[in-house]
Structure 1
Amino acid sequence: MNRLSIILPAKNEAPALAALLPQLRAAHPDAEIVVVDDGSTDDTRSICKGNDITCLSAPYSMGNGAAIKRGARAASGDILVFMDGDGQHDPADIKRLLDQLNRGYDMVVGARDWDSQAGVGRGLANTLYNWLATRMTGHPVLDLTSGFRAVRADKFREFLHLLPNGFSYPTTSTMAFFRSAYAVAYIPIKAAQRVGKSHIKPLRDGLRFLLIIFKIATLYSPLKLFVPASVVFFLLGCANYAWTFMHDGRLTNMSTLLWSASVIVFLIGLVSEQITGLMYRRDA
């Protein structure tokens, strides 16, 4: 029988953990529960100790993704469940994740509905990510950035070296699983409003959300992003040449620059495709 490890990254989430940990222990008495304390300055450690929960403490904050990696390395279970330590995720949904995993999937993700999104802006951004990831992979991606997921430990650890230390570990792990032909499923969940204040800063993290869009492509198949961009530059060059030829009877520098950009973008995509392939290469 597979052993279950539940991993909760937490940074100053003591009020939420005080309510969540007893629920988790009651619902899964045989599971290994690991709280990864990402440099908290509150009572996280004492709350874990009071509930007889393993707490991995860092002397300073290294990021959500770093906490996930530390927890995945330390956990002894064959199945890993990741959930936020801020009280958003319902422990009762863990069983639903595991039931789907037992049907032959390698990763099962809790997909939030619109009402569970943290604001309209985040909801629109996540909708864009889901659409782009679906187009890239050819498989329905219902919630690319959800932090509530169950995975097979051996397969998840294959990609620890790819995971960033920041908040985009769900994006990276999902695209890595699709790229490696590991089966991914989604189940609908309701996410509650978090307890306490969010650690995400819109101005600081705005660039991070933009970079996620490029990460979606480069982690799966860079050519699917770069080839269309190359074609756009090529067609713009042709259109500019047609316009200038009809009006001035000559070829302008702008057309040449656009065609050159088309070739450069395509070559960048080709090199990126080879690099991506090396990232997923397994040693024999």
Structure 2
Amino acid sequence: MARELSIVIPAYNEGPHIGEVLGELATLLREHDLAAEIIVVDDGSSDDTGAAALRAGARVLRHRRNRGYGASLKTGIRAARHDRVAITDADGTYPMEYLPRMLDLLDEADMVVGARTGANVSVPLVRRPAKWALNLLANYVASEKIADLNSGLRVFRRQTVLPYFPILPDQFSWTTTITLALLCDKHAVRYVPIDYRARSGRSKIKPWDAGAFTMLILRMAVLFRPLRVFLPLVGLFLLYGGVKLIVDLRSPHENISATAVLALLSALMILLMGMVADVVVTRTGRLNPEAVIGAHDATFEEMSADGAGDGARGASEAGTESPTS
């Protein structure tokens, strides 16, 4: 019996490349007997991305304006008809040959990530220092080694991801957020080493996005592992206050300075804040799977063969579509 799978591909002005990516996917699906629907989410492109994807046989959902990579993924996942969902990019950088192996591993994991650690990986040199630093921070927050924090090729179960929609951003940090969220909540995440091709066309990620990724990781730490953020700050203030206190006591006047007192009080206050945050996280536990706040139906158009949209449509349950206002 063919395995069922929904493949979601966010696309923005990828008209020249989307046909080739879909052709590679169609060949793979035939060879491995996969019953898959291919969903291309045209994120308000100004070129013929949607039409090209439609000609290649994909199911096309179109945003009326550009809303972002993460928003496109959320639209596609909500509209998916199958519980097993794969995501990939429309620029041809991820080889599809790894998808069957990743799908096999999903039987023993909650998410399988294509880690760009294979023999042939084309990552621009200018991005490597930032990626290394971000991975180091993410490893610290998650308390484990993450093979690839923000790979765009991954497979997961729809019902595993839906509860996290309230905290998943609409931009490129979607993959980083879902990786940290699942790891911090002790979900099983597996990695498959893959190659990574040079991108066709221009990348839409800007150098200053590294700052946004850093803030995102810290935000996730506060949300899931607050003590991983607060305790280092406590240590810094304690160290400074303790050293200043010793210096003050060894001075001729033997007076404790206001600076030492302030540093030690700050350490105590930060520790109490961290403990309160940790209690809140522990008491609330994981995000409630029944409360998919913020995951309401998105407004998008499903394109048909005649080029006309089918109106604003969304999907709140796998295989069930409902109109939105």
TM-score, structure 1 normalization: 0.91
Tell me the amino acid that sits aligned with residue 203 of structure 2: S
Q: Distance between the aligned counterparts of 1:273 and 1:162, measured in 2? A: 18
Residue equivalent to 2:62: 57
Q: Is 1:27 paired with 2:25?
A: no
Q: Is 1:280 paired with 2:286?
A: yes
- Give the counterpart of 2:159 among 154, 160, 179: 154
Tell me the amino acid that sits aligned with residue 226 of structure 1: F
Q: Is 1:242 paired with 2:246?
A: yes
The one-character-per-residue Cα deviations of 1:123-145 (angstroms, maximum 9, x if unpaired) are 22222333333333333311111
Whether the 8 Å contact between 2:177 and 2:217 is mirrored in structure 1 is no
When residues 187 and 160 of structure 1 are mapped into structure 2, their CA distance, relative to the original with a 3 A threshold, is same
Residue equivalent to 2:84: 79
Task: Report 1:188-267 matches (<5 A).
Answer: 188-203=193-208, 205-247=209-251, 248-267=253-272
Task: Report 1:96-135 matches (<5 A).
Answer: 96-102=101-107, 104-113=108-117, 116=121, 118-135=123-140
TM-score, structure 2 normalization: 0.80
Whether the 8 Å contact between 1:117 and 1:123 is mirrored in structure 2 is no
Q: Is 1:42 paired with 2:47?
A: yes
Q: CA deviation at 1:197?
A: 0.6
The one-character-per-residue Cα deviations of 1:234-262 (angstroms, maximum 9, x if unpaired) are 12101011112212421112112212221
Q: Distance between the aligned counterparts of 1:119 and 1:258, measured in 2? A: 43
Residue equivalent to 2:4: 3
Whether the 8 Å contact between 2:164 and 2:287 is mirrored in structure 1 is no
When residues 174 and 11 of structure 1 are mapped into structure 2, their CA distance, relative to the original with a 3 A threshold, is same
What's the Cα RMSD here?
Answer: 2.1
The farther-off stretch of 238-247 and 184-193 is: 238-247
Q: CA deviation at 1:211?
A: 1.0
Q: Which has the larger radius of gyration?
A: 2
The farther-off stretch of 137-146 and 160-169 is: 137-146
Q: Distance between the aligned counterparts of 1:275 and 1:42, measured in 2? A: 47
When residues 31 and 276 of structure 1 are mapped into structure 2, their CA distance, relative to the original with a 3 A threshold, is same
Whether the 8 Å contact between 1:24 and 1:91 is mirrored in structure 2 is yes
Q: Distance between the aligned counterparts of 1:57 and 1:206, measured in 2? A: 28
Between structures 1 and 2, the one with greater strand share: 2
Between structures 1 and 2, the one with greater helix share: 1
The one-character-per-residue Cα deviations of 1:197-253 (angstroms, maximum 9, x if unpaired) are 1111213x2421221331342243111221122122112101011112212421112
The SS at the match of 2:200 is coil
The SS at the match of 2:164 is coil
- Give the counterpart of 2:75 among 63, 70, 73: 70
Whether the 8 Å contact between 1:36 and 1:71 is mirrored in structure 2 is yes
When residues 283 and 191 of structure 1 are mapped into structure 2, their CA distance, relative to the original with a 3 A threshold, is closer
Q: CA deviation at 1:120?
A: 2.9
Whether the 8 Å contact between 1:45 and 1:55 is mirrored in structure 2 is yes
Q: Distance between the aligned counterparts of 2:168 and 2:230, measured in 1? A: 23
5+ long unaligned stretches in structure 1? none
Whether the 8 Å contact between 2:116 and 2:194 is mirrored in structure 1 is yes
The one-character-per-residue Cα deviations of 1:154-209 (angstroms, maximum 9, x if unpaired) are 11112112201111111211122123322101111111111111111213x24212
The farther-off stretch of 172-181 and 81-90 is: 172-181
Q: Distance between the aligned counterparts of 1:122 and 1:218, measured in 2? A: 26
Q: CA deviation at 1:85?
A: 1.1
Q: Distance between the aligned counterparts of 1:17 and 1:193, measured in 2? A: 15
Whether the 8 Å contact between 1:4 and 1:81 is mirrored in structure 2 is yes
Whether the 8 Å contact between 1:65 and 1:169 is mirrored in structure 2 is yes
The farther-off stretch of 113-122 and 42-51 is: 113-122
Q: Is 1:164 paired with 2:186?
A: no
Whether the 8 Å contact between 2:122 and 2:197 is mirrored in structure 1 is no
Q: Distance between the aligned counterparts of 2:112 and 2:60, measured in 1? A: 25
Runs of 4+ more than 4 Å apart = none
